[in-house]
Structure 1
Amino acid sequence: MSRAYDQPLVAMDALPVRYRDERLEFGLAVRQYDPHAGVEALPGVLLLAGEHGPGPVLRAMRTKAGIPEPEVRFTRQLGWFDGTMRDPRSATISLASLVFLEPGARAGELVWHPLDDVPRLPFDHTVIVEAARVRLGEIVWRDWEITRALLGEKFTSGTALALGAALESEPYDRPNFRRWLEGTGVVRVTTDTTGVKLRGRTTVWEWSD
């Protein structure tokens, strides 16, 4: 005999990510309402009728994290999560997205944590964050828009290699890193070190466009 289930709700969860001082971090916001009121979690909202694309994710960032839409650089869909009983209110499927902020974005309500030290989170948000780390490792040397958002407009070879190490994702040719990176055509060596933290002798890069 089959058991009838309610039609699941759809949640849109945002996972803000940044790379600062060679530390990869993700952002949480304190929940204002039950369930789990007063607990840090990913900013999320339930999908409303007629919403589509990045709209609900931007709404989550605005209403739950205090980050207005112009300060969101772009989003990338991470995947969907449908663990049994992930939400005590009802059967809920989460569509999670990575969120990258503009360099000058305000702090809002976000609390930043190391991506390699994920605290115990409500719902299945720990699973979502861990999946994000794996996904970033898969695409960081292929999706240059994400690489640029993490590394900034100028960066050193050491900073780039540290990002790969943080994601357990080595560049395609680490022994010849400079030659490989130049060969991508997306960045070039620069002598302008304005705004770059230099540590010893290193190569400084800027984006080609």
Structure 2
Amino acid sequence: MTATGQLATFDEPSRDPRGPTLSIALWATVTRPSGDVAVWSRLGEVPPLAFDHDRIVADCRPLLADKLWRDVPFTAGLLGREFTTAQALDVTESLTGDRPYPANLGRTMDRVPGLERTSEHAAALPRGGRPPLVWKWTA
């Protein structure tokens, strides 16, 4: 699933030493990043950026975290058509910086329109334990 949207506009007059510059932060989800058009990095591993772009990334992270589980196209774009509870925990942690308690996240996901908990479980875990549940989008 691919989706796009606008997050914020940055227009402070002194943000670029070359003169007034406008930057618009956008978000996009892609199913398979490919090609050499962009360098893909995890949010916690973004390399140093020019001017105030590090601040832009830092300012946008909580905006993205707020969209998760509230904006269906954004969330579905990140997680795909089907995903496990473990994957949902990982995505939530990557955006918020905190790992949610699985039962609390499950209750949040139960309230998301178009998302349903299936009776399926993912493949057995290599280190043992109960395999995570599979969720899927119905709409």
Distance across 1 between alignment mates of 2:86 and 2:124 = 9
- AA of the residue aligned to 1:201: P
Between the two proteins, what is the percent identity of the paired residues?
Answer: 32
Give me the CA root mean square deviation: 3.0
- 2:7 equivalent in structure 1: 78
Asked if the contact 2:69/2:109 (under 8 Å) is kept, the reply is no
Choose which of 112, 136, 139 in structure 2 pairs with 1:206: 136
Confirm or deny that 1:140 pairs with 2:68. Answer: yes
Q: Superposed, which structure 2 residues align to 1:50-129 within 5 Å?
A: 73-101=2-30, 103-129=31-57
- The two structures have a TM-score, normalised by structure 2, of 0.77
- 1:153 equivalent in structure 2: 81
Deviations 1:14-73, CA, capped at 9 Å, x for gaps? xxxxxxxxxxxxxxxxxxxxxxxxxxxxxxxxxxxxxxxxxxxxxxxxxxxxxxxxxx93
Change (3 A) 1:126 1:145: same
Deviation at 1:154, TM superposition (A): 0.9
Change (3 A) 1:190 1:161: same
Could you say what secondary structure the match of 1:111 adopts? Answer: coil
Distance across 1 between alignment mates of 2:95 and 2:41 = 15
Distance across 1 between alignment mates of 2:97 and 2:82 = 20
Structure 2 unmatched runs, 5+? none
Structure 1 unmatched runs, 5+? 1-71
- AA of the residue aligned to 1:83: E
Distance across 2 between alignment mates of 1:74 and 1:116 = 22
Change (3 A) 1:189 1:168: same
Deviation at 1:156, TM superposition (A): 0.4
Q: Superposed, which structure 2 residues align to 1:3-82 within 5 Å?
A: 73-82=2-11
Q: Which has the higher strand share?
A: 1
- AA of the residue aligned to 1:165: E
Distance across 2 between alignment mates of 1:203 and 1:136 = 25
Deviation at 1:191, TM superposition (A): 5.5
Q: Superposed, which structure 2 residues align to 1:176-195 within 5 Å?
A: 176-190=104-118
Deviation at 1:140, TM superposition (A): 0.6
Deviation at 1:87, TM superposition (A): 2.7
Asked if the contact 1:78/1:97 (under 8 Å) is kept, the reply is yes
Aligned residues: 135
Deviation at 1:158, TM superposition (A): 1.1
